[in-house]
Structure 1
Amino acid sequence: MDDFTFYEFFAGGGMARAGLGVGWRCLFANDLSPKKAAAYRANWGDADLHVGDVHALRPDQVPGQADVAWGSFPCQDLSLAGAGAGLDGARSGAFWGFWALIEALGVEGRAPRALVLENVCGALTSRGGRDFAAIGEALAGAGYRFGALVIDAALFVPQSRPRLFIVAFHEAAGVGSVASGVSPREPWHPKALVVARERLSDEAKRRWLWLEPAAPRANVARLDDMIEDAPTGVRWRSAEQTEALLALMAPLHRARVAAAVSSGERRVGTVYRRMRLDASGARVQRAEARFDGVAGCLRTPAGGSSRQTLLVIENGVVRSRLLSAREAARLMGLPDDYVLPAKYNDAYKLAGDGVAAPVVRFLAEQVLEPALGRPTPARAAG
């Protein structure tokens, strides 16, 4: 049987491609960033890659008709940490450039059979839910039935990374039965998603699907298994630097470290630095630790506080360092032969901006492939 085909927009280093894996063939990939495009080329070649602004893409640049168009569009304006511009923002507004191209393909009879949109969960609530509703209206108006899922990468890798996945199927694209129920189901449909769905128009609600993938098997690797004793690109901090980090902790978090030390066991935890309010209402920097075997969500290294720190406790000694780029890639489900950028910040940003590859594989296996049934026969652009 022929492979399923896909377009990968906002492709970064091709993590959706890595997740789709065997049985899927890329027809077209696009990203604006030359640095990310270099990583894409290093791993996948550049035969299908177009580097440039999604707003400037023309349908004649995009070949054939894909079974799936994947779009992990920028999250900065939708994030709870962002400025709240939503889909009107300069970065998250790139969705509309992507959408204009999908509509243009539809005019030519080449609308992708399915779409997957991935973003932060803040997309459900940004601008009072209007952004999620706008996406729903766009999908419904273009003839797609759609649903949404919140999937935490922690179901597959030791990283807490809940993300929203909007999955849509075109009504005229020969899509078979979609596994869906009649009501929300945990953990895929949390309260914020249910509330966001209620804000949709009647027509969009009519096209809504309560997607119900089966629960994944619990076989997540341990954080400790992904950590290197002699990492490349980062150094262990001095004892004085580690103590300075511990001094930033509130009593609760300092107690967690003390308990890990007193256990006598090797313990691996992670630390983020955050701004918090103290008892007087002043903003102070705090270091917050976790030892539950799961890393915090990878974020891009715009500043020191956004880069995740490791705490390794062994034989009563506490050591600390930044997470290495290779460890970050492992937390995204990428294999060790995945080629990372040489510079630390570029490699960490590539990982932090990406989609966890095992989540992509799960969606393909549980939702996309059963619904699509058979790949679309190859065809040329119109």
Structure 2
Amino acid sequence: MGSFYEFFAGGGMARAGLGEDWTCLFANDFDPKKGDAYRANWGDAGELQVEDIRKLNAAHLPGSPDLVWGSFPCQDLSLAGVGAGLAGERSGAFYPFWDVVRGLAADSRSPKLVAVENVCGSLTSHGGEDFKAICKTFSEAGYRYGALVINADLFVPQSRPRLFVIGVRNDMELPCGLTSPRPSEPFHTKALLRAVDSLPPKVRANMVWWNLAAPEARKDVFADLIEETPDSVDWHTPAETNKLLAMMSKVNKAKVDEAKKAGRRIVGGVYRRTRFDEKGVKVQRAEVRFDDVAGCLRTPAGGSSRQTILVIDGPKVRSRLISARETARLMGLKDDYVLPHRYNDAYHLTGDGVAAPVVAHLRREIFEPVLAGPVPYEQAA
């Protein structure tokens, strides 16, 4: 259907979402381990170049892509980060990414579509100035653009809201119904509306509201993705599970008791938090959620960032770290997707990626309709 470049490619999750009808002309990532995973899943991947994007320019890139995708690093924009924003060393790779896009335009190979993805902290980073900079870049490069907040939990049982900004080259005619005169839920959140309201008029003039259909209701729950005999982690001993339960407050222990009465297997995600007890003393608490959805996967910088799961079958309670394969399933990857052998490498790969089903939805709802062009009147009738 189309051709694409995939920047900050990781293990090729955007490629997985675009599907077999799309042709990858070029892929890039800085991390050699992620490059190994990319090749393991997409053949020899001669189109992949493991290199700092700051060392690339249009002369290095083959063909004329229909789409340029960039899931640029989130660390400086994340609420858990240090707040450097687009001025940071990692998230600042947004600008070299756009240098490449501008280089393509100067070479008469300007892509029809440009899409970037990042954390929702991009909306408020530096008082909204980073979001303004992202939008201004699209506008000044000659793209009509629209922003969307899409939570992966619409497609997979993982809470993973992300900001997507998608631009279409100004000379491209948009199909009827692809945009709306006003924002709509669930993809235009209150936080997004506040960020858009602060845009300068000149930048706002090139913005559109993408009109996406909501997907069909998700049928699977967190428990459906859980392995009984994972090969990357071990089940905790009863003593370790009891220690975890002992760290819970009365409220969280009550959640466990209710889950035991559910009459079905329930899986909850456990998170360690520092809280104040009734005497005002800091204590470490284990807090659990039983809403059939995993918490957002993150890159494993430390023990607390690796999700622990609590599996409850009636009176039986077990616990362990979430497995590498389970993290891949939460990103919408098929079980034949090849993961790195080391647990941390696999977790880092999945936790740092884009959920493939979200990309697939954007492909169906925006990318392919744009490339197909407006439907002739007589055909539409």
Q: What TM-score, normalized by structure 2, do the two folds share?
A: 0.94
Matches within 5 A, 1:99-110: 99-110=98-109
Aligned-residue offset at 1:261: 2.0
Q: What residue in structure 2 maps to residue 34 of structure 1?
A: 32
Residue by residue, what CA displacement relative to the aligned partner does 1:45-96 show, whole Å, maximum 9, x if unpaired?
3211010101110211111211111100111110111111000011111111
Per-residue CA deviations over 1:100-125 (Å, capped at 9, x if unaligned) read: 11111111111211111101100000
Q: Please name the residue that 1:306 is paired with.
A: 305
1:269–1:293 Cα contact (<8 Å) kept: yes
Shift of 1:265: 3.5
Quote the sequence identity (%). Answer: 56
Q: How many residues matched? A: 372
1:213-255 CA-partner distances (Å, limit 9, x unpaired): 1111113322111111111110000111111111222221111
Match of 1:370 in 2: 369
Look up the SS of the partner of 2:350 in the other structure. Answer: helix
Residue 207 of structure 1 aligns to a residue whose secondary structure is: coil
User: How far is 1:177 from its partner?
Assistant: 4.7
C-alpha contact 1:260 1:313 (8 A) present in aligned 2 = yes
CA contact under 8 A between 1:157 and 1:331: conserved in structure 2? Answer: yes
Q: Secondary structure at the match of 1:134?
A: helix
Are 1:97 and 2:96 an aligned pair? yes
SS in 1 for 2:184: coil
5 Å matches for 1:330-369? Answer: 330-369=329-368
Contact 1:178 1:371 in 2 (8 A): no
State the AA in 1 paired with 2:327. Answer: A
Unaligned runs of 5+ in 1: 375-382
Gaps of 5+ in 2: 374-381
Label 1:32 to 1:184 Cα distance change in 2 as closer, same or farther (>3 A). Answer: same
Question: What corresponds to 2:187 in structure 1?
Answer: 188
The structural deviation recorded for 1:286 is 2.0
Distance 1:60 1:131, change over 3 A: same
Distance in 1 between residues matched to 2:353 and 2:162, nearest whole Å: 11
Task: Deviation per CA, 1:163-214: give whole Å up to 9, x if none.
Answer: 1110100113565556111111111111110111112121211111111111
Q: CA RMSD in A?
A: 1.5
- The structure 1 segments of at least 4 consecutive aligned residues displaced by more than 6 Å after TM superposition are none
Mark the CA change 1:76 to 1:205 in structure 2 (over 3 Å): closer, same or farther.
same
Take 1:128 and 1:241, find their aligned partners in 2: how far apart are those partners?
A: 43
1:140 aligns with 2:139: yes
Q: Is the 8 A contact 1:272 1:287 kept in 2?
A: yes
* SS of equivalent residue, structure 1 residue 93: helix
TM-fit CA distance, 1:315 = 3.8
Distance 1:263 1:63 in 2: 56
The worse-fitting range, judged by mean Cα deviation, of 197-206 and 21-30 is 197-206
Segment of structure 1 superposing worse, 272-281 or 132-141: 272-281
2:17 matched to 1:19? Answer: yes
**Mapping of 1:226-305 within 5 angstroms?**
226-279=225-278, 283-305=282-304
Measured in 1, the distance between the counterparts of 2:230 and 2:118 equals: 30
C-alpha distance 247-113 of structure 1, shift in aligned 2 (>3 A): same
